[in-house]
Amino acid sequence: MMRNKLIIIFSILLTSNSFSQVQEIDLVSRMDGSKTLIDGTVIEFWGYGEDDPNLNNDKIFIPGPVLRFNVGDTVIINLTNDSPEDHTIHWHGLDVDQANDGVPSTTDAVGSFGGEFTYTFVCKEPGTYLYHCHVLTTLHLAMGMYGSFIIDPEAEDQIYENSGKFTKEYNYLFSEMNTSWNLNPLSPGQFYLYEADYAMVNGWAGSEIEDKNQSIEGTINDSIGMRLANVGYGRVETIFPNDLEVSVYGSDGREVAEYTADTIQLYPGERFGVVGYPQTAIDDSIEVNYYDLRNENLLYTNYIPVSIIDDTGLETFSSNKLSIYPNPFREEIVIDKVKKRGSASITDLNGKIVWDGTLEEGENKVRLNLDQGVYVLTYQSQQYKLIKH
Amino acid sequence: MKRILILLLISMAFHHVTKAAILDSLYLIKESVTYNATTFYKGALSDSLQPIQYDNAVLTVQGSSNDSIVIMNMDTIDYELYLNTDNNQTWTITAEDTLTIELPLLDWGTHAILSTTTEGKLLGTACILQVDLQADHIYSWDQWDMNNVLSQEIAAGTEISIPATYRPNVFTINADPLAPMDTSNALIHGYVGDTILISVLNSGNMVHNIHFHGYHCTILGASKQSDRVGWSKDSFPVMIGETMTLRLVPDQPGVYPVHNHNLATLLYNNNYPSGMMTMIKIYE
Ligand SMILES: [Cu+2]
Ligand SMILES: [Cu+2]
């Protein structure tokens, strides 16, 4: 009953599954972020968040929200600047026109204390892009004002229109931090002395990567789509597990002739679209090394756990954890590896139930018409974070 | 038969005489440059001493001819020069001497003459060779980095390598740390639909990169990244000593920055934007 009512409400707001729509979102830029690093240090950051005063969720994050649209969509992004300095959004790689390019010297900055600007452009080519502030960029980007931007092709479960088909999808934005700037952003000192000493995968470092569900999980029949992006100022090297054969299908929102790679080097601002094909069961990780371009010193290493099980033979021992994908999702989410039939519910962050029903043993497909945001699936007293884009 | 042979010999001789030419006379310099009260040393194969041009010469070369370049070494030390696309091609020019170097046959694209001599290598002494490039507009960008204090020690011979603690504070395109300004020869002008070719050289001491606003460009040549030739990119690295040839065919008008996305290079005297940023201006 609850579900039906919600579908009616949201069907008015969204027409599902067709391409080339007009999509409008509201973002906020703020300079009052606070984040605890893995060693307990509390730093300040500046960044972007979703602007929704009704839900009071105009909180900012490192990185900002993943912005995801379909090829052909006309995107309207309303930025409200709730901060004491000017900011913009530059749509890195999207080749938008000068008026929407987010460069203060060629357009206008979005003024402090409530300034507003509406960016409008068409999503031209499927692939992986970035967005970031372009005001005093060396400082503002380093402070956290960046995020990923994804354009899906018309083809389902594919990175590009003609290539990059996957059964599971993981998107990794690599970034760095010069923590002394984030501890004291009002007097960062000479910019050329920038020293990255902390590095992240989707904003997480060290053991957080596993704790925050960034790990790759699947079976040997899965093809693991990965969008890799480097918004840091140094080189990022991703070293894949031996038994994950990785094919590169494109870079910077353009397809390239396919090739296989055991390592990918991402220089500042670059993006790659790849698919990993497990050759065996894997219990390993993707090693992510961050290097200083000035002297090739290794600054930081993160690991993205990769757990691939071989389910082709006998039943394997595995945890009671559900496998949920794609996550973030758009219309449909697959809740897989349900060990036993049982009831489940999905709530928003205010605890309001937006879906309840029964999960059957094995794989369950659930279509959800929800607003963008974070939701929580509860099943057998375990909670799972779901992200709707 | 005999007549044909004689004609052939005559035409070969004629061919040789007309096509091999002295392209230019360049000055090998190592000079101090001051911009906005900060001084650094820059090496160059320069087109002019009066006024001194600190940016490296860019020469138009026909690949099918063995053209020559006259180089006058204005420095008090010997220099060894080499071709970045063929390390076997080297030339030694003694202090305060003049040498005529004959170029080998060169493939289409962008090449550079660089130096293995410490001063020349670290201070960015180079010459860009644009071989058989044809387009509506042809430009070149030479990226170089240095620390201004270190450059004085290198020029004085007291420092002979890039230290592990290297902290560059001078980032230039075409020897200009103020490349975003309208006075820079790094600025690109063109019309929608034009074919613009850009030669790129990294004559610096670290890997650099380029990010285009407004457009993707096609990598037509890359001396150290042959696997990326043909790619359409908006962000890509330029390795140390690498030459690249980029093709830009603008599909929209506007003024857009082009810059290094290691954003710590967009500075000079702690002013942003400076350093490795320039502009593309495309008219309707
Ligand atoms: Cu900003
Ligand atoms: Cu950017």
Residue B13's pLDDT is 47
Please report residues of A whose CB lies closer than 8 A to that of B167. Answer: 192-193, 294
Q: How far apart are CA A364 and CA A385, in angstroms?
A: 17
Question: Is A145 in the same domain as A184?
Answer: no
Cβ atoms of residues B205 and B145 within 8 Å:
yes
CA distance to A131, A202, A232, A280, per residue, from A205 (Å): 21, 9, 14, 27
- CB-neighbour burial class of residue B269 (10 A; exposed 0-12, middle 13-18, buried 19+): middle
Which of residues A309, A333, A364 is at a domain's end?
A309
Tokens of A75: 């995107």
Residue B145 domain-assigned (yes or no): yes
Query: Which residues lie near ion ligand 1 (Cβ < 5 Å)?
Result: A 87, 133, 135, 140, 145
Q: How far apart are CA A331 and CA A262, in angstroms?
A: 33
Kindly give the distance from the C-alpha atom of residue B277 to the centroid of ligand 2, in angstroms, as a whole number: 12
A10, part of any domain: yes
Q: Is a pLDDT exceeding 50 seen at residue B89? A: yes
CA separation for the pair A273, A258 (Å, rounded): 10
Per-residue pLDDT tens digits for B130-141: 999 999 999 999
CB within 8 Å: B233 and A251: yes
Alpha-carbon distance A156 to B98, whole Å?
66
| pLDDT band, residue A376 (cuts 50/70/90) | confident
**Are residues A267 and B209, on separate chains, in Cβ contact within 8 Å?**
yes
Give the integer Cα–Cα distance in Å for A53 and A73. Answer: 25
b/e for A148-177, b at 16 or more Cβ within 10 A?
bbbbbbeeeebbbbebbebbbbbbbbbbbb
pLDDT computed for residue A53 by the predictor: 67
The pLDDT > 70 percentage for chain A reads 92
Residue A239 has pLDDT above 70, yes or no: yes
Domain carrying residue A277: 164-309
Per-residue pLDDT at A223 exceeds 60: yes
For residues A112 and A128, the answer to whether their CB atoms sit within 8 Å is: no
Higher pLDDT: B29 or B8? It is B29
Tokens of A229: 């992006």
- Among B216, B231, B254, the residue with its CB nearest the CB of A97 is B254
In a domain, B8, yes or no: no
B36 Cβ contact list (under 8 Å, min separation 6): B178, B268, B269, B271
Q: pLDDT at residue B215 above 50?
A: yes
In this structure, the answer to whether residues A280 and A363 fall within a common structural domain is no
**How many other CB atoms sit within 10 Å of the CB of residue A238?**
25
Tell me the residue length of chain B: 284
Name residues whose C-beta falls within 8 Å of residue A186's C-beta, 6 or more positions apart in sequence. none
Residues of A in contact with B146 (CB under 8 A): none
- Is the per-residue pLDDT at A316 higher than 80? no
DSSP-derived letter for residue A110 is B
Same domain, A258 and A322: no
Q: Return the HEC string of chain B.
A: CHHHHHHHHHHHHHHHHHHCCEEEEEEEEEEEEEECCEEEEEEEEECCECCECCCCEEEEECCCCCCEEEEEECCCCCEEEEECCEEEEEEEECCCCEEEEECCCCCCEEEEEEECCHHHHHHCCCEEEEECCCCCEEEEEEEEEECHHHHHHHHHCCCCCCCCCCCCCEEEECCECECCCCCCCCCEEEECCCCEEEEEEECCCCCEEEEECCCCEEEEEECCCHHHCCCEECEEEECCCCEEEEEECCCCCEEEEEECCCHHHCCECCECCCECEEEEEEEC
| Cα A54-A56-A60 angle, rounded to 5 deg | 135
Q: For residues A326 and A29, which has the higher predicted lDDT (pLDDT)?
A: A29
The answer to the question of residue B9 being in a domain is no
Q: Residue A303: CA atoms inside 13 Å, Cβ hemisphere, count?
A: 11
Q: Look at residue B7 and tell me if it is in a domain.
A: no
**If you measure from the C-alpha of residue A121 to the centroid of ligand 2, how many angstroms do you get, rounded to a whole number?**
17
Q: What is the pLDDT of residue A381?
A: 75
- Same-domain pairing of A180 and A241: yes
Nearest-angstrom CA–CA distance, B196 and B218: 11
Q: What is the pLDDT of residue A313?
A: 62
Across A287-307, average pLDDT: 97
| Total domains, chain A | 3
pLDDT band with cut points at 50, 70 and 90 for residue A373: confident
**Lowest-confidence pick of A103-117, A213-227, B85-99, B202-216:** A103-117
Q: State whether B164 and A295 contact (CB < 8 Å).
A: yes
DSSP A342-363: EEEEEEETT--EEEEEEEPSEE
Cα(A101) to centroid of ligand 2, in Å? 10
User: CA of B127 to nearest chain A CA: how many angstroms apart?
Assistant: 24
CB proximity A73 to B under 8 Å: no
If pLDDT is split at 50, 70 and 90, which confidence band does A247 have? very high
C-alpha closest to that of A29 among A87, A109, A75, A103: A87
Residue A234 makes CB contacts below 8 A (sequence gap 6+) with A176, A196, A268, A290, A291, A292, A293, A299, B262
Search chain B and give the residue with CA nearest A231: B261
> Across residues B255-267, what is the average pLDDT?
97
Q: Which residues of A touch B207 (CB under 8 A)?
A: 235, 267, 293
- Domain membership flag for residue B5: no
Amino acid, single-letter form, for residue A226: M
Vertex A294, ends A292 and A295: CA angle to 5°?
A: 80
pLDDT tens track for B167-201? 999 999 999 998 777 888 999 999 999 999 999 99
Task: Please indicate, yes or no, whether residues A7 and A147 belong to a single structural domain of this protein.
Answer: yes
Q: What pLDDT score does A57 carry?
A: 65
CA–CA dist B123, B121 (Å, integer): 6
For A296, other C-beta atoms within 10 Å of its C-beta total: 12
Residues A9 and A86 in one domain: yes
A159: in domain: no
Give the residue from chain B lying closest to A136, CA to CA: B272
Report the C-alpha gap between A304 and A98 in whole angstroms.
38
Percent of chain A with pLDDT over 90: 72
pLDDT at B11: 47
Q: Which two tokens stand for residue A187?
A: 């007097």
E strand or H helix at A50, and its extent?
Answer: strand A42-50
- Give the CA angle between residues B164, A174, A238 to the nearest 5°: 75
The total number of structural domains that make up chain B: 1
The secondary structure of residue A98, as a DSSP letter, is: G
Residue A226 located in a structural domain: yes
N residues, chain A:
389
Q: What is the mean pLDDT of chain A?
A: 90
pLDDT of the residue at B61 = 95
Helix (H, G, I), strand (E, B) or coil at A7: helix
CATH number at residue B195: 2.60.40.420
| Domain containing residue A374: CATH number | 2.60.40.3080
Chain A residues close to B256, C-beta within 8 Å: 98, 101, 103, 106
A13 and A125 fall within a common domain = yes
Residues A4-33 pLDDT 10s: 333 333 333 444 445 689 999 999 999 999
Mean pLDDT of all residues belonging to chain B: 93
Would an 8 Å CB–CB cutoff place A260 in contact with chain B? no
Distance, CA of A46 to CA of A30 (rounded, Å) = 6
Residue A35 CA, ligand 1 centroid: distance in Å: 18
Given a cut of 50, whether residue B128 has pLDDT beyond it is yes
The pLDDT tens digits of the residues spanning A34-84 come to: 999 999 999 999 999 998 766 656 789 999 999 999 999 999 999 999 999
A164 near A126, Cβ under 8 Å? no
Q: Does B197 map to a domain?
A: yes
Cβ atoms of A284 and A306 closer than 8 Å: yes
Full domain range(s) for residue B179: 20-283
Task: Output the domain CATH number for residue A11.
Answer: 2.60.40.420
